[in-house]
Amino acid sequence: MDIDAKLRPLFLLQILKERTDEDNYLTTTQLCDILKREYGLDTHRTTLKSDIEVLQRAGYSIDERRSTQNQYRFIEHEFKVAKLPSVDNGTQGFNNQTALLLFSLFLGRAK
């Protein structure tokens, strides 16, 4: 596997994060064109589909709208961490950093 094949899913994720939202999708053709024009990567539509599946399996929320030209968008989940009161029973402390760490671990493993 060459370096371009390894980087392609990362480039694809960056494109989806920057150019799609809840109202705007990019088609398979548009994504292939952007990869070619901006990154010099010739990408077949089936390769693109495989890369999307890899990103989804890695836990990234990428929505697919199936049609004659499949369309994709990145679904951004923005969470705000509420101020949690510190609880200390003398042996264990639970604070905002612990809550954020646990929440991050949960998101990293969620599908």
- Greatest alpha-carbon span in the chain: 62
Q: Is the pTM of this model over 0.95?
A: no
pLDDT in tens, 10-65: 999 999 999 999 899 999 999 999 999 999 999 999 999 999 999 999 999 999 99
CA 18 to chain centre: 11
Render pLDDT for 56-67 as a digit per residue (tens, 0 to 9).
999 999 999 998
Query: Residue 3 — very low, low, confident or very high, per pLDDT cuts 50/70/90?
Result: confident
Neighbours of 101 (CB within 10 A): 11
At residue 94, the 3 state secondary structure works out as strand
Helices (H), the chain: 3-19, 28-39, 45-57, 96-109
